Amino acid sequence: MKPFRSDAVFAAAAILLSANSAALAHGWAGQRFFPATILTDDPFVADEMSLPQISVNPPGPDGARQTDYQIDLSKRITPDTDVIIRDQWQHLQPVGMPSVAGLGSLQTGAQYQLFVNGPHEALGLVGLNVTWAHTGRVQALGAPDFTTLSPTFDFGKGLGDLPRSLPYLRPFAITGNLGFDFPTKTESAGVPNPDNFNYGFAFEYSLPYLECCVKDIGLRAPFNQLIPLVEVSFTTPINRVPAGQTIGTIQPGVIWAGQYFQIGAEAIIPANRFTGHGYGGVVQFHIYLDDLFPRSIGKPISEWW
């Protein structure tokens, strides 16, 4: 490395010290970039915002159709912790009845980045999410009249550390979350509120990773920024209701990840008849606040002063 002028070094060091937490923002582990997935929780703390996420859900078991317009904000408090807030406007069209619309339940959460392992492209995060009672339309839209506590463990692992003799497997990555729901009321209007086990995974094939780190096959924008993926997510009641009432969805799709934002689109396929039938779809516009505003709101709050 050629020698540099000392004043340039000091200036750069000052810049780094003023915003050195950028290393943990976004979903980076070593040379692996993890995009924010749509269905499953992300295994990294971040300064990011989904604005909006629009879901046209498959018809439910009773044939009702619901469309959700969701906003989601993650904000780092320190380099390793963040808070999230999420809400949605719901539009429900029951079969043979007038449609209804209103706010869904407010969700908040706090998360801690347990580890980031660069060489093995691994991430781990623990969090506690809270779905708040009486913050949505309880009667009309079925929003809960009880608060639910949901501890979660989220993880991510890239396969970039596979032997170089398996080059085309190295762009694969998996992220996932394991968690529970603990409602604070055991029943509402005579209907039991079970504790749930939640599990979900996202299987990703990163074309940016293929291009930058495995083999340049000549893809250029926008194709070299695409990440095809399949997400699955399930919820299984573990008490208070008969066994075998797992619900879930399978969501194949693609994410385009740019410098300042990403755009994702997925089909929504019910995993079983308890979930619904037919098909739906979801699109998401997701903003990287740490890249858009690296010197202001994109920094952790602990580094604002």
Partner 1 sequence: MRRIWVVLVAAALTIFGAPSARAHAFLDHASPAVGSSVPASPPIVTLWFTQDLEPAFSDLTVTNESGQRVDLDNAHIPQGSPAELQIGLKPLPRGTYTVSWHVVSVDTHPTEGTFTFDVG
Binding-site ranges for partner 1 (CB under 8 A):
1-2, 4, 8-9, 12-13, 15-16, 18-20, 22-23, 25-26, 28, 30-31, 33, 118, 164, 167, 208, 211-216, 259-260, 288, 290-297
Strands 32-33 and 28-29: antiparallel
Return the residue matching tokens 């209804």: 100
How far apart CA 12 and CA 5 sit, in angstroms, is 11
Instruction: Output 63 or 167, the one with its CB closest to partner 1.
Output: 167
Report the nearest approach of partner 1 to the CB of residue 16 (Å): 5
Exposed / middle / buried, residue 229 (Cβ in 10 Å: 0-12, 13-18, 19+):
buried
Instruction: Output 33 or 201, the one with its CB closest to partner 1.
Output: 33
Instruction: Output 15 or 238, the one with its CB closest to partner 1.
Output: 15
Instruction: Output 4 or 305, the one with its CB closest to partner 1.
Output: 4
Instruction: Output 208 or 281, the one with its CB closest to partner 1.
Output: 208
Report the nearest approach of partner 1 to the CB of residue 224 (Å): 9
Q: Which long-range contacts (CB under 8 A, 24 or more apart) does 297-301 make?
A: 297/47, 297/75, 298/25, 298/47, 299/19, 299/21, 299/22, 299/47, 299/76, 300/21, 300/47, 300/76, 300/77, 300/78, 300/79, 301/75, 301/76, 301/77, 301/78
Report the nearest approach of partner 1 to the CB of residue 117 (Å): 13
Instruction: Output 65 or 76, the one with its CB closest to partner 1.
Output: 76
The rounded Cα 89 to chain-centroid distance in angstroms is 18
Report the nearest approach of partner 1 to the CB of residue 289 (Å): 9
Give the end-to-end CA distance of the chain in Å, rounded to a whole number. Answer: 34
One DSSP character per residue, 47-116 reads -EEEEEEEEEPPP-TTS-EEEEEEEEEEEEEETTEEEEEEEEEEEEE-TTS--EEEE---EEEEEEEEEE
Instruction: Output 210 or 269, the one with its CB closest to partner 1.
Output: 210
Report the nearest approach of partner 1 to the CB of residue 108 (Å): 22
Report the nearest approach of partner 1 to the CB of residue 293 (Å): 5
Report the nearest approach of partner 1 to the CB of residue 19 (Å): 5
Task: Determine which helix (DSSP H) or strand (DSSP E) holds 231, and give its type and residue range.
Answer: strand 226-237
